[in-house]
Amino acid sequence: MDPRIDTLLLDLGGVLIDVDYHASARAFSYLGFSDFDALYSKAKQDHVFDAFETGALSPAQFRHRIRELLCAPITDAQLDHCWNAMLGTIPQERIDLVRRLKQRFRVLLFSNTNAIHVPAFEAIVARTNGIAHFKGLFHGAYYSCEIGLRKPDPEAFHHVLMQHAADPARTLFIDDSMQHVIGARSAGLHAEHLELAHEDIVALCRRLDLL
Protein backbone atom coordinates (compact mmCIF):
# COMPACT_ATOMS: atom_id res chain seq x y z
CA MET A 1 0.00 0.00 0.00
CA ASP A 2 1.20 3.50 -0.87
CA PRO A 3 2.73 4.89 2.36
CA ARG A 4 1.37 8.33 1.49
CA ILE A 5 -2.23 7.18 2.10
CA ASP A 6 -3.74 9.21 4.94
CA THR A 7 -7.47 8.86 4.21
CA LEU A 8 -9.69 5.79 3.93
CA LEU A 9 -13.08 6.07 2.24
CA LEU A 10 -15.33 3.11 3.02
CA ASP A 11 -18.55 1.85 1.49
CA LEU A 12 -21.32 0.74 3.84
CA GLY A 13 -23.47 -2.01 2.29
CA GLY A 14 -21.54 -5.26 1.96
CA VAL A 15 -18.36 -3.70 3.32
CA LEU A 16 -19.52 -2.86 6.85
CA ILE A 17 -23.16 -3.87 7.08
CA ASP A 18 -24.25 -7.25 5.79
CA VAL A 19 -26.82 -7.01 2.98
CA ASP A 20 -29.00 -9.69 1.43
CA TYR A 21 -30.67 -8.15 -1.61
CA HIS A 22 -32.79 -11.28 -2.14
CA ALA A 23 -34.33 -10.85 1.32
CA SER A 24 -36.46 -7.98 0.07
CA ALA A 25 -37.75 -10.12 -2.80
CA ARG A 26 -38.63 -12.86 -0.31
CA ALA A 27 -40.41 -10.38 1.95
CA PHE A 28 -42.49 -9.08 -0.95
CA SER A 29 -43.29 -12.65 -2.01
CA TYR A 30 -44.70 -13.39 1.46
CA LEU A 31 -47.23 -10.63 0.76
CA GLY A 32 -48.10 -12.19 -2.58
CA PHE A 33 -45.84 -10.13 -4.81
CA SER A 34 -43.68 -12.88 -6.26
CA ASP A 35 -42.03 -10.95 -9.09
CA PHE A 36 -40.07 -8.34 -7.14
CA ASP A 37 -36.85 -9.33 -8.93
CA ALA A 38 -38.49 -8.38 -12.22
CA LEU A 39 -39.89 -5.26 -10.59
CA TYR A 40 -36.44 -4.32 -9.35
CA SER A 41 -35.03 -4.65 -12.86
CA LYS A 42 -37.88 -2.62 -14.33
CA ALA A 43 -37.66 0.05 -11.66
CA LYS A 44 -33.90 0.24 -12.02
CA GLN A 45 -34.32 0.70 -15.75
CA ASP A 46 -36.88 3.38 -14.90
CA HIS A 47 -34.26 5.11 -12.71
CA VAL A 48 -36.53 4.92 -9.66
CA PHE A 49 -33.77 3.68 -7.38
CA ASP A 50 -31.15 6.11 -8.69
CA ALA A 51 -33.57 8.98 -8.14
CA PHE A 52 -34.39 7.78 -4.63
CA GLU A 53 -30.70 7.41 -3.77
CA THR A 54 -29.96 11.00 -4.77
CA GLY A 55 -32.97 12.43 -2.96
CA ALA A 56 -34.74 13.36 -6.18
CA LEU A 57 -37.67 11.25 -4.97
CA SER A 58 -39.08 11.53 -1.47
CA PRO A 59 -40.02 8.38 0.45
CA ALA A 60 -43.68 9.07 -0.36
CA GLN A 61 -42.92 9.43 -4.08
CA PHE A 62 -40.81 6.27 -4.04
CA ARG A 63 -43.58 4.28 -2.35
CA HIS A 64 -46.11 5.60 -4.86
CA ARG A 65 -43.92 4.55 -7.78
CA ILE A 66 -43.37 1.07 -6.33
CA ARG A 67 -47.12 0.67 -5.87
CA GLU A 68 -47.58 1.61 -9.52
CA LEU A 69 -45.01 -0.98 -10.60
CA LEU A 70 -46.55 -3.64 -8.36
CA CYS A 71 -50.03 -2.80 -9.67
CA ALA A 72 -51.39 -3.63 -6.22
CA PRO A 73 -52.16 -1.90 -2.92
CA ILE A 74 -49.55 -2.15 -0.17
CA THR A 75 -49.33 -0.03 2.95
CA ASP A 76 -46.40 2.23 3.76
CA ALA A 77 -45.47 0.02 6.71
CA GLN A 78 -45.56 -3.16 4.60
CA LEU A 79 -43.52 -1.59 1.81
CA ASP A 80 -40.90 -0.22 4.21
CA HIS A 81 -40.65 -3.58 5.98
CA CYS A 82 -40.04 -5.41 2.70
CA TRP A 83 -37.64 -2.78 1.40
CA ASN A 84 -35.61 -2.83 4.62
CA ALA A 85 -35.54 -6.63 4.79
CA MET A 86 -32.25 -6.64 2.87
CA LEU A 87 -30.47 -4.88 5.73
CA GLY A 88 -28.46 -7.09 8.07
CA THR A 89 -26.21 -6.13 10.95
CA ILE A 90 -22.65 -4.88 11.36
CA PRO A 91 -20.52 -7.53 13.11
CA GLN A 92 -18.82 -5.96 16.12
CA GLU A 93 -15.36 -6.78 14.74
CA ARG A 94 -16.03 -4.35 11.87
CA ILE A 95 -16.95 -1.60 14.33
CA ASP A 96 -13.73 -2.35 16.18
CA LEU A 97 -11.88 -2.27 12.86
CA VAL A 98 -13.09 1.25 12.08
CA ARG A 99 -11.96 2.43 15.50
CA ARG A 100 -8.52 0.90 14.98
CA LEU A 101 -8.19 2.38 11.51
CA LYS A 102 -9.03 5.83 12.90
CA GLN A 103 -5.83 5.67 14.94
CA ARG A 104 -3.79 5.72 11.70
CA PHE A 105 -6.03 7.31 9.09
CA ARG A 106 -8.81 9.79 8.48
CA VAL A 107 -11.73 7.37 8.03
CA LEU A 108 -14.73 8.47 5.96
CA LEU A 109 -17.92 6.67 4.97
CA PHE A 110 -19.73 7.12 1.65
CA SER A 111 -22.87 5.12 0.94
CA ASN A 112 -25.33 5.07 -1.94
CA THR A 113 -28.47 4.81 0.15
CA ASN A 114 -31.94 6.23 0.58
CA ALA A 115 -34.20 7.96 3.09
CA ILE A 116 -36.01 4.75 4.07
CA HIS A 117 -32.88 2.70 4.65
CA VAL A 118 -31.00 5.36 6.63
CA PRO A 119 -33.18 5.39 9.76
CA ALA A 120 -33.54 1.60 9.49
CA PHE A 121 -29.84 0.76 9.52
CA GLU A 122 -29.06 3.47 12.07
CA ALA A 123 -31.65 1.84 14.35
CA ILE A 124 -30.05 -1.58 13.74
CA VAL A 125 -26.63 -0.23 14.73
CA ALA A 126 -28.06 1.45 17.81
CA ARG A 127 -29.79 -1.77 18.86
CA THR A 128 -27.08 -4.32 18.06
CA ASN A 129 -23.87 -2.31 18.53
CA GLY A 130 -24.96 0.24 21.11
CA ILE A 131 -24.03 3.17 18.87
CA ALA A 132 -26.66 5.90 19.11
CA HIS A 133 -24.97 8.19 16.57
CA PHE A 134 -23.68 6.06 13.71
CA LYS A 135 -22.10 8.90 11.75
CA GLY A 136 -20.04 9.74 14.81
CA LEU A 137 -18.12 6.50 14.35
CA PHE A 138 -16.28 8.12 11.42
CA HIS A 139 -14.37 11.32 10.85
CA GLY A 140 -17.07 12.05 8.27
CA ALA A 141 -20.03 10.10 6.87
CA TYR A 142 -21.99 10.86 3.72
CA TYR A 143 -25.20 9.41 2.29
CA SER A 144 -26.02 9.90 -1.39
CA CYS A 145 -29.63 10.80 -0.59
CA GLU A 146 -28.41 13.69 1.55
CA ILE A 147 -25.73 15.13 -0.73
CA GLY A 148 -27.56 14.57 -4.03
CA LEU A 149 -24.63 12.70 -5.54
CA ARG A 150 -23.96 8.98 -5.86
CA LYS A 151 -21.14 6.63 -6.77
CA PRO A 152 -19.62 6.00 -9.28
CA ASP A 153 -19.86 9.66 -10.37
CA PRO A 154 -16.37 11.20 -9.94
CA GLU A 155 -18.04 14.41 -8.77
CA ALA A 156 -19.47 12.49 -5.80
CA PHE A 157 -16.01 11.39 -4.65
CA HIS A 158 -14.58 14.88 -5.09
CA HIS A 159 -17.46 16.38 -3.09
CA VAL A 160 -16.89 14.06 -0.14
CA LEU A 161 -13.12 14.53 -0.07
CA MET A 162 -13.45 18.28 -0.44
CA GLN A 163 -15.31 18.45 2.89
CA HIS A 164 -12.08 17.31 4.58
CA ALA A 165 -9.50 18.89 2.27
CA ALA A 166 -8.45 15.30 1.51
CA ASP A 167 -6.17 14.62 -1.44
CA PRO A 168 -7.55 11.96 -3.84
CA ALA A 169 -3.99 10.77 -4.49
CA ARG A 170 -3.61 10.05 -0.76
CA THR A 171 -7.02 8.41 -0.36
CA LEU A 172 -7.85 4.71 -0.52
CA PHE A 173 -11.44 3.78 -1.37
CA ILE A 174 -12.84 0.32 -0.55
CA ASP A 175 -16.09 -0.96 -2.08
CA ASP A 176 -17.60 -4.30 -3.03
CA SER A 177 -18.92 -2.91 -6.34
CA MET A 178 -16.41 -2.91 -9.19
CA GLN A 179 -18.16 -0.07 -11.01
CA HIS A 180 -17.71 2.13 -7.94
CA VAL A 181 -14.04 1.17 -7.74
CA ILE A 182 -13.60 2.16 -11.37
CA GLY A 183 -15.38 5.47 -10.71
CA ALA A 184 -13.10 6.20 -7.75
CA ARG A 185 -10.00 5.48 -9.79
CA SER A 186 -11.22 7.80 -12.53
CA ALA A 187 -11.57 10.47 -9.84
CA GLY A 188 -7.89 10.01 -8.91
CA LEU A 189 -8.31 7.87 -5.78
CA HIS A 190 -6.58 4.61 -5.00
CA ALA A 191 -9.29 1.96 -4.87
CA GLU A 192 -9.59 -1.66 -3.80
CA HIS A 193 -12.38 -4.03 -4.80
CA LEU A 194 -13.59 -6.07 -1.85
CA GLU A 195 -14.57 -9.47 -3.27
CA LEU A 196 -17.00 -10.72 -0.64
CA ALA A 197 -16.87 -14.28 -1.94
CA HIS A 198 -13.23 -14.45 -0.88
CA GLU A 199 -12.70 -12.10 2.09
CA ASP A 200 -14.33 -9.50 4.30
CA ILE A 201 -13.19 -5.98 5.12
CA VAL A 202 -11.19 -7.12 8.15
CA ALA A 203 -9.19 -9.64 6.09
CA LEU A 204 -8.67 -7.08 3.31
CA CYS A 205 -7.30 -4.49 5.75
CA ARG A 206 -4.91 -7.06 7.20
CA ARG A 207 -3.78 -8.09 3.74
CA LEU A 208 -3.15 -4.46 2.80
CA ASP A 209 -1.27 -3.90 6.08
CA LEU A 210 -3.65 -1.14 7.13
CA LEU A 211 -3.82 -2.30 10.74
Instruction: Supply the pTM of this predicted model.
Output: 0.94
Q: What's the CA gap between 104 and 137, in Å, rounded?
A: 15
What are the tens digits of pLDDT across the range 179-188? 999 999 999 9
Summarize pLDDT for 157-207 with one digit per residue, the tens: 999 999 999 999 999 999 999 999 999 999 999 999 999 999 999 999 999
- Name 13's bridge partners: 17
- For residue 98, the one-letter residue type is V
| Helix H or strand E encompassing 197 | none
pLDDT value at residue 37: 74
Per-residue pLDDT, 43: 53
Which of helix, strand or coil describes residue 149? coil
CA 187 to chain centre: 19
Q: What are the strands of the beta sheet with 7-10, ordered from one edge?
A: 140-143, 106-111, 7-10, 171-175, 190-193
- At 53-77, the pLDDT tens digits run 999 999 999 999 998 888 878 999 9
Task: Name the class of domain 21-84.
Answer: mainly alpha
Distances (CA, A) of 60 to 56, 76, 122, 123: 12, 8, 20, 20
**β-pairing verdict for 171-175 and 190-193:** parallel
Residues in Cβ contact with 154 at an 8 Å cutoff, skipping those fewer than 6 apart: 183, 186, 187
Give 10-34 pLDDT, tens digit per residue: 999 999 999 998 899 899 999 888 7
For residue 96, the one-letter residue type is D
User: Is residue 108 pLDDT above 80, yes or no?
Assistant: yes
How many Cβ atoms from other residues are within 10 Å of residue 131's Cβ?
A: 15
* Domains of the chain by residue range: 7-18+89-207, 21-84
pLDDT of 92 reads 97
Report the SS3 class of residue 141.
Answer: strand
Fold (CATH) for 7-18+89-207 = Rossmann fold (3.40.50)
